[in-house]
Structure 1
Amino acid sequence: MVYNDGLCVRREAHERGLPYVSDGELSRRVITEAKKTPQRVWLGEVSAVVLQQALADLNAAYRNFFASLTGRRTGPKIAEPRFKSRKDARQSIRFTRNARFTVTAGGRLRLPKIGDVPVRWSRSLPSEPSSVTVVMDAAGRYFASFVVEVGDEPLPEAVAEVGIDLGLTHFAVLSDGRKIANPRWLRRAERRLRKAQRALARTAKGSNNRTKAAAKVARAHARVADARRDFAHQLSTRLIRDNQAVYVEDLCVSGLARTRLAKSVHDAGWAQFTAMLAYKAARHGRHVGRVGRFEPTSQTCSTCKVKDGPKPLHVRAWTCPVCGTRHDRDVNAAKNILAAGRADRLNACGGAVRPAA
């Protein structure tokens, strides 16, 4: 509500040609003065820190939007902040250290103006948290996410390095020949999802049965997302633990998601997996390199480096016409990714750009 009120104030000022409403002025209008009105008197029953954090999110959204317009922010263009829908089942509140939230001796989370909340801890807190965000997802589950300071945990030096070719037939093919099967979590759950979505379509809008059916669909999707995330965590942890350097292809997932393979691409979760590799490598003293997506990894012989030309997707194995080596398409691509990643890393560390004569 506070987020939408603040967005409404700034949009009205822009439409009237008035100056941009500052952060302090916006807080005075949307929070301080709004509490005195009959329509917003209930804002006094909520911690003031939560209200201020809602406006902080709006201010950050506007800063990112302006930085994207002026070119100071790299990446895809960011659109203007939009109103939050009242139909969105996801909710979140954030308490900072100023709110004086605490973790009691009994393991409960004490939140201002809410009280003690029982928590099932997934892990112990490594240090004093600076903020906590309580999130309710679409499936009706509540999560408490803490911001804490942790140091790096370097792992012992490893000798092995690995290149990874991500795909749909196999989720990952490694340069040492190992192939990780693609679990296809969404495809496996399609029957259950289809049944739940049909039951939702038969309910009347606004009825309690529709609310229950929508929650059932959300829980089914949450199980798929949890399984996919757990698989990515386990695989990325194992690769970072066993290898000093990991090299992956810099795939354009957003572009692949606009093809006829969009459903399978989203189901694979490549972006989530590579993001986990990156932050775990930074924390444990490993290296993750990205190879350009336009490298002809599937067209080049990993033995003699001769480019054999493009091949249709149904060709899964081929023989090099020069050296006669028989290649598995995906394993060969993983080996080329490993070689290209090593070359880029050597050049970045001061190695020779051109090979010796």
Structure 2
Amino acid sequence: MQLRYNFRLYPAAGQRQALARAFGCARTVFNDGLRLRQEGREQGLPYVSDGDLSKRVITQAKQTPERAWLGEVSAVVLQQALADLNTAYRNFFASITGRRKGPEVAPPRYRSRKDNRQAVRFTRNARFTVTAGGKLRLPKIGDVPVRWSRELPAGPSSVTVIKDAAGRYFASFVVEICQEPLPQTASEVGIDLGLTHFAVLSDGRKVGNPRLLRRAERRLNKAQQALSRKQKGSNNWARAKRVLARAHAKTADARRDFAHKLSTQIIRDNQAVYVEDLCVKGLARTRLAKSVHDAGWSQFVAMLEYKAGRYGRTFARIDRFFPSSKLCSACGLPAGTMPLSVRSWTCPCGAVHDRDVNAAINILAAGRAERLNACGGTVRPAA
């Protein structure tokens, strides 16, 4: 399986200028290719193939005075920009024809130099290397210092250099690794995600919601007000914009760190993990949108899924329409109408349930049932 390893870069002033040229050249090639295909479509011409597009946008463009500066950066950067454009078109065509599952994919759009995220990718053809001194050597950029927080498990197949809105630089390595199974354990867990508690486990444990955005809201509002008072386009405006971006980046980093630590602990302690398949996009349209985005459920579940695959654990999503909260985990009797304000209830069989813990237990039972069905177990329960 493929994993990404991100490390912080600290380029010098000259290297930052070289990276800015690389960002600009990759963005120009992408936009030129997109414009060429759009104009051809409007004129009723055949679809420009990938090879013809590369020849016209890169090879021939370098020979013109208007695009001669494309030769100042590595050719691999330009080729990868066109590869991103071709991938975007393939995903768009597969989406509108029904071959791609999930939400519809929009057609490619032009890239702007004002985008919060700028990135270029170097493959093995670019011959990037990690020097003996621990620096990342990039073609036509130089040896960039890296803060290595851990060792790479294998040789990377590509590296993407990213500049975020806060002005920070990162190197994202793609590494092919083998599965690393953890020792077998008998415990399994069902997880009910929420806002009062971030996660409630089927064994009764409750993980508090850190509410990182709410805690940083005062600092973010202060930085936003300072930005609004500056004249747009001035140096003070640019400085205030970076301060606001760094505050948001700090909150996002803390949320990612919390999700990594919790997901790693759950995967190590349990052989199977079952989570309800929440419709986060729908919940984000309600009055709880800010709290839903602050929780970061999708990020946490994605971490659980890939870590389970890496360490040989079982992971499954339970249907979102499964009545986990309103089903008695002791006798299986469904309860009646139950508003969200009801946090505990008593079943006619005498069992007293905490709503969230009961939901986590039912998610665990549903996950086990689906697992038995997939392994050839009986579909219908006995009479």
Name the TM-score class by shorter chain. over 0.9
For residues 38-87 of structure 1, the C-alpha deviation after alignment (integer angstroms, 9 at most, x for no partner) is: 22111110000000000000000000001111111111111111111221
Q: Is 1:317 the counterpart of 2:368 in the alignment?
A: no
CA distance in 1, matches of 2:336, 2:310: 39
1:304 matched residue in structure 2:
331
Q: Determine the structure 2 residue equivalent to 1:71.
A: 98
Letter in 2 for 1:254: K
1:265-304 map, 5 Å: 265-304=292-331
Q: Residue 326 of structure 1 corresponds to which residue in structure 2? A: 352
Q: 1:233 aligns with which of 250, 255, 260?
A: 260
TM-score (norm 1): 0.98
Cross-structure match for 2:6? none
Amino acid at match of 2:299: Q
* Structure 1: gaps of 5 or more residues: none
Q: Deviations over 1:180-223 (max 9, x none)?
A: 00001100100000000011111111111111111111101101
Matching residue's letter, 1:176: D
Alignment check: 8 A CA contact 1:152 1:284 kept: yes
- The AA in structure 2 aligned to 1:124 is E
Aligned amino acid, residue 158 of structure 2: S
Aligned counterpart, 2:158: 131
SS in 2 for 1:315: coil
Deviations 1:82-120 (A, max 9, x none): 111221131111110011111100001110011111111
SS of residue matched to 1:79: coil
> Does 2:79 align with 1:52?
yes
**Counterpart contact for 1:164–1:249, Cα < 8 Å:** yes
Match of 1:99 in 2: 126
The one of 43, 50, 62 equivalent to 1:16 is 43
**1:200 and 2:208 correspond:** no
Which residue is equivalent to 2:382? 356
Whether contact under 8 Å (1:249, 1:293) holds in the other structure is yes
Greater relative contact order structure (CA < 8 Å, 6+ sep): 2
CA distance in 2, matches of 1:129, 1:176: 40
Q: Equivalents in 2 of 1:310, 1:139: separation in Å? A: 48
Among candidates 335, 344, 351, match of residue 361 of structure 2: 335
TM-score, with structure 2 as normaliser:
0.92
CA-based RMSD: 0.8
Q: How many residues align?
A: 356
* 1:216 equivalent in alignment to 2:243: yes
Q: Out of 61, 66, 69, which is 1:39 matched to?
A: 66
- Other-structure match for 2:372: 346
- Aligned residues of 1:300 and 1:309 also touching (Cα < 8 A): no
> Structure 1 segments of 4 or more deviating over 4 A?
none
